Structure 1
Amino acid sequence: MQQYNGQLMTGCPMWHQDGWRGRWFPADSRPEQSLMHYSRVFNTVEGNTSFYQLPSAASIERWRQAVPEHFRFCFKFHQSISHHNMLMGVEQLCQDFLDRFEPLQDKIGCFMLQLSASFSPEHLPRLAAFLTRLPGRYRYGVEVRHPAFFAKGEHERRFNRLLMDHGVNRVIMDTRPLFAAAGSDGLLGEVKQKKPRLPVNVIATGDTPVVRFVGHPQLPANRPFYQSWQQKIDQWIEQGKTPYLFFHMPDNEQAPWLAEQCLEDWPGCPPFRISLPSQAAQSSLF
């Protein structure tokens, strides 16, 4: 298992967007070069594609070669494990999943288990059994969406205690800025329908807390929402934890610029900084 000594890991939910070519990536860059360019700016990424399809061994080898030593991937467990079977009878599926990513072992930040809104407190014994079987060479995060896990009370305490007992991180999704945006038409409305509107329970149950920040489409409007995260993440780093902070936007082509704004606004920001085109250079994109 990797050792951490308190640092900030920052990234986006993907490493390729067509709109980044010529504005962030070189104009002549090819899609297969996107991860290389991305990893020279960010030091982690959400691997959402693994939720839908297991990548080929050849793809994983290309990814391993494309990123620098310090870079970390955070892949989601496949939906056949988390949603279709709801953690029941998934031993072989889980083994196949982890075996596929074995060549990236030293570049895995954590594997994230995103559970559906139907996964309720009555299913916690399933989660306990699942976590017990996971190999200790990796770190893990669990994201729940059932409202009972967010109401102050016994269900939330049991869930948090289960994660603490296994050293597993509670994945925290902050959709407050998204739902603070007026309107429900077009892309904004589509994203609002997909993302959960749940309380933000701030807790570090492991040593690599994960925050998924879903931003307001107008960049300046995000400031009052991420300022409290800056303070909490500074505290976690002082405690020797390594927080993962992922920036989402309704249009994820904007996500890197949300990250840049947040870090530039961050008093005493950790050493990792990003370097993107100026606002003027990106104006045609937004």
Structure 2
Amino acid sequence: MHLHVGCAMWTHRSWQGRLLAHPLPAHERLRHYAGWCDAVEGNTTFYATPARDTVAGWAQQTDPDFRFVVKLPKVVTHERRLTEVTEPMRVFLDAIEPLGPRAHALWVQLPGSFGPDDVPTLARFLRRLPAAHRSAVEVRHPAFFTDPRSTRQLESTLADADAEWIPFDTTAFFANPPTSDAERDAWTKKPRMPLRTAALTDRPIVRYLGRDDPDRTVEGWGRWLDITAGWLREGRSPTVFIHTPDNADAPTLARRFHDEVSTRVPGLAPLPEPIPVEPTTLF
């Protein structure tokens, strides 16, 4: 049984010299992150499609079972809203091809204005994706969460394409007012999403936003420990991404989440061992 965990990025200034060796050349940073976590959100691909050679470097730094959940470019999802996107999708799919099996899912993050009336557009887009790629959709229009008919419509569309619905759980973050600069910034930028915990496929993906205080983050993910353990017992293979506003302790928190699930599910495959920050010596 495998539970993959990860963060929103593979490099962060606050990790340098503390969790990851420093200095590290760019072509080594992902390899060191992959000693902590075995999955990562591919947020950078939202802003620009990377060069194929760059992606080949990502593959070289990770094992074949490492998971990238790669976000589609904003020109596809936000600017053109999934219409007339043949060329940008061709370029994108060609760029990420070196990832091979590491490309766990194509992450279709849709804007909050993409609502129930747009679901037929989503259905047409998902039907055109290559069968070799799994897809996972994140929606932010409130009707998908509060209107049962809209929920069923979206679930049916995703089921037809064997696509997952990615929940972004921000309920713990918004439960109390912000107490740090990073939290105050996130308070104005992160979406206040209704809670969703259902999985549609055998590979559910969860994004969880905690607080800068690690204890508060751990308190807020309790429900996900039980849900994730249940998925594993059902034979599913989930991926859980742990966020905090400053992300200073995100890798250690992701590993802690994995550890806490493993106490509920004996036999869970272990995470890799982190590469030492300082060279190991005998004396």
Q: Normalising to structure 2: TM-score of the pair?
A: 0.91
List per-residue Cα deviations over 1:134-183 (Å, max 9, x = no partner). 11111110000000001141001100111111110000100012112423
Aligned-pair CA distance for 1:260: 3.0
Q: Distance in 2 between matches of 1:231 and 1:187?
A: 29
Aligned to 2:70: 75
1:1-286 paired onto structure 2 within 5 Å: 6-183=1-178, 186-266=181-261, 267-269=263-265, 270-273=268-271
Letter in 2 for 1:271: A
Q: Which runs of 5+ in 2 are unaligned?
A: 276-283
Q: Distance in 2 between matches of 1:16 and 1:71?
A: 16
Q: Which runs of 5+ in 1 are unaligned?
A: 1-5, 278-286
Q: Distance in 2 between matches of 1:57 and 1:195?
A: 31
Q: Is the 8 A contact 2:46 2:73 kept in 1?
A: yes
Instruction: State which drifts further: 267-276 or 155-164.
Output: 267-276
CA RMSD of aligned residues (A): 1.8
Q: Distance in 2 between matches of 1:163 and 1:203?
A: 13
Q: Secondary structure at the match of 1:262?
A: helix
Q: Distance in 2 between matches of 1:263 and 1:140?
A: 24
- Cα 1:212–1:192, aligned 2, differ >3 Å: closer, same or farther? same
Q: What is the identity percentage for the equivalent residue pairs of Structure 1 and Structure 2?
A: 32
- Cα 1:265–1:207, aligned 2, differ >3 Å: closer, same or farther? closer
Q: Distance in 2 between matches of 1:115 and 1:69?
A: 28
- Cα 1:106–1:276, aligned 2, differ >3 Å: closer, same or farther? closer
Aligned-pair CA distance for 1:97: 1.1
Alignment coverage as a number of residue pairs: 272
Q: Is the 8 A contact 2:109 2:138 kept in 1?
A: yes
